[in-house]
Amino acid sequence: MSADLKPVPASAITSWDDEADVVVVGYGIAGAAAAVEASAAGADVLVVERTGGWGGAAAMAGGFIYLGGGTDLQKACGFDDSVENMAAFLKVAMGPGADAERIDDYCAGSVAHYDWLVSCGVPFKPVFWGEPGWEPPSDEGLMFTGGENAFPYNTIAAPAPRGHVPQMTDKVAGERSGGYMLMKPLVETATAQGVRSVYDTEVQSLITAADGRVVGIVARRYSDTVAIKARRGVVLASGSFAYSDAMVAQYAPRIAGRPAASIEQHDGRAIRMAQTLGADLAHMDATEVAFFCDPQQLVRGILVNGFGQRYIAEDTYAGRIGQQTLYYQDNTAYLIIDGDAMEEAIAATSATPFLRRPATWVCETVAELEAEIGLPAGVLQHTVAYYNEHAANGADPLLHKKPQWLRPIGSPVGAIDLRNSTGGFTLGGLLTTLDGRVVHVSGEPIPGLFAAGRSAAGLSAWGYASGVSLGDGSFYGRRAGRSAAQS
């Protein structure tokens, strides 16, 4: 970080290169939602984007938006849900210390938010995809994305799928996905409403009035430095700090060196700029953690740690497996899977065949396998024997994997080496009010400054479910845009 991060006094600006009522920094999901809502509230809006076009990380994402409480899509797919049910799940799944007030707020507004997305033209195909996986293989619209139907969550709240995916008929991984079909209609809506945008323009610092109010931004455009005035407010929506090595080292060192599902523009600068004004932070240690294995394999094997012990139900949300493996198990895991299960996994429909892993070791017996892997003698043998004994009866008394996946492990038996098979992005950021205002460490909002998306702390304390980032990013992006327009 360089000194040009520091706030610039408005008195030092001799001429403004552009101006708007609301200036939005970043044209990803939070920025798009903020722009649509701010312009709908009557504001003249300018979006300033660092890259050559709109999209951000959102347009390259699978596109899950975590919504529930009884959306039309849930109903069309035959699922019951309620605000209370959704909140009960999230209060546990988002981790100890999750912000209960924010979760209640988000759940209460979830159905209306879905309707708003539809009204903006975001398409959802009313088809549920019920197979294990990171995402649906085609354009199905609804899926379990948080382990709602896995133990222990299925004992806490009635399981309902809440991963809503915009319909994309012609998916190309990392290029055209559900996230693209979320962004495109929102940007078109914004444009139709008169939102302006400038690209290749990278924010450098905030401009403040003598009374501390944020009144604009300084940005760099190629070799030029430009000053952009914000008559009502600045919305920071330029993503996480996953690609800031320094911030990751300070705040979330255990994800260091393994960024994933993120883009390199996520350098944390928006967070830093706000910190120069005394902005507060929250949940900077929280991360999404992907686990690089196809869930179709995971459910058919048993996952053991470096001791040869099972530690998590293999049919839960794969991101939770990633978190627990990275943080609790020293990033060490082995999937024990027999030959038949391996064939079944290959035959099963999967959207992520590129995450399918070959067996690292294959043996006739578990005793041999245990020795090959180098596990303490006897532990894995017991683990498999115990699992098999109960699986034969359709039970998993240890971890409660669903009966449909329980089958004794036979021979030949293999193991997939899943050490260091995690990666992810940061979830923490600026502390904001529920209406998107950035909060100073004194507890008061910073006048003229708003934030949403992964520049801000959202629903997650430590836990996560796929769709929470696009979910709270769009939800609180709207709030931030509306608040800025009304400032």
At 347, is the secondary structure helix, strand, or coil? helix
Total residues belonging to the chain: 487
Alpha carbon distance 440, 445 (integer Å):
6
| Residue from 167, 193, 309, 360 in contact with its own copies (CB under 8 A) | 309
Does an H or E element contain 197, and which?
A: strand 196-198
Backbone angles phi, psi at 19, to 5 degrees: -160, 160
Q: How far is the CB of 169 from its own copies (least distance, A)?
A: 42
Provide the CB-side half-sphere exposure for 127 (13 A, CA).
12
Alpha carbon distance 171, 148 (integer Å):
26
Q: Which residue has the tokens 């920025």?
A: 31
- Which amino acid is located at 162 in the chain? R
Of 125-133, 353-361, 391-399, 468-476: span binding its own copies (CB under 8 A) = 391-399
Say which residues have a Cβ less than 8 Å from residue 52's Cβ, sequence separation at least 6: 199, 200
Of 49-57, 271-279, 292-300, 342-350: span binding its own copies (CB under 8 A) = 271-279
Nearer to its own copies, 112 or 246 (CB): 246
| Residue from 121, 126, 137, 278 in contact with its own copies (CB under 8 A) | 278
| Residue from 9, 53, 130, 378 in contact with its own copies (CB under 8 A) | 378
Based on the shown chain and the rule CB under 8 A, indicate whether residue 276 belongs to the binding site for its own copies. yes
Contact code string over 83-102 relative to its own copies, x by CB under 8 A: ------------xxxxx---
Of 31-39, 172-180, 281-289, 354-362: span binding its own copies (CB under 8 A) = 281-289
Contact 374, 363 (CB under 8 A): no
Based on the shown chain and the rule CB under 8 A, indicate whether residue 280 belongs to the binding site for its own copies. yes
**Which has the closest alpha carbon to 136: 475, 472, 467?**
467
Based on the shown chain and the rule CB under 8 A, indicate whether residue 386 belongs to the binding site for its own copies. yes
CA distances from 163 to 19, 64, 178, 316 (A): 38, 5, 11, 14
| Residue from 84, 377, 392, 394 in contact with its own copies (CB under 8 A) | 377
Token pair for 315: 């049919």
DSSP state of 310: B
* Helices of type H across 123-194: 178-192
Alpha carbon distance 5, 301 (integer Å):
50
- Per CB under 8 A, which of residues 316..375 are in contact with its own copies? 327-328
- Per CB under 8 A, which of residues 434..463 are in contact with its own copies? 440-444, 457, 461-462
Based on the shown chain and the rule CB under 8 A, indicate whether residue 199 belongs to the binding site for its own copies. no
Nearer to its own copies, 20 or 94 (CB): 94
- Per CB under 8 A, which of residues 62..81 are in contact with its own copies? none
Of 37-45, 104-112, 279-287, 365-373: span binding its own copies (CB under 8 A) = 279-287
Based on the shown chain and the rule CB under 8 A, indicate whether residue 249 belongs to the binding site for its own copies. yes
Token pair for 207: 């401009």
CA distances from 225 to 10, 394, 475 (A): 15, 66, 32
| Residue from 251, 361, 464, 476 in contact with its own copies (CB under 8 A) | 251
Alpha carbon distance 108, 192 (integer Å):
29
Based on the shown chain and the rule CB under 8 A, indicate whether residue 254 belongs to the binding site for its own copies. yes
Based on the shown chain and the rule CB under 8 A, indicate whether residue 284 belongs to the binding site for its own copies. yes
Based on the shown chain and the rule CB under 8 A, indicate whether residue 256 belongs to the binding site for its own copies. yes
Distance of CA 173 to the CA centre of its chain: 17
How many chain residues touch its own copies (CB under 8 A)?
51
Provide the CB-side half-sphere exposure for 187 (13 A, CA).
20
Of 39-47, 134-142, 217-225, 282-290: span binding its own copies (CB under 8 A) = 282-290
Based on the shown chain and the rule CB under 8 A, indicate whether residue 283 belongs to the binding site for its own copies. yes
Of 2-10, 85-93, 180-188, 366-374: span binding its own copies (CB under 8 A) = 2-10
CA distances from 415 to 190, 334, 347, 400 (A): 50, 6, 19, 21
Based on the shown chain and the rule CB under 8 A, indicate whether residue 379 belongs to the binding site for its own copies. yes
| Residue from 92, 398, 407, 419 in contact with its own copies (CB under 8 A) | 398
- According to DSSP, the residues that pair with 347 across neighbouring strands are none
Q: Which residues bind its own copies (CB under 8 A)?
A: 1-3, 5-6, 95-99, 249-251, 253-254, 256, 272, 275-278, 280-285, 307, 309-311, 327-328, 376-379, 382, 386, 397-399, 431, 440-444, 457, 461-462
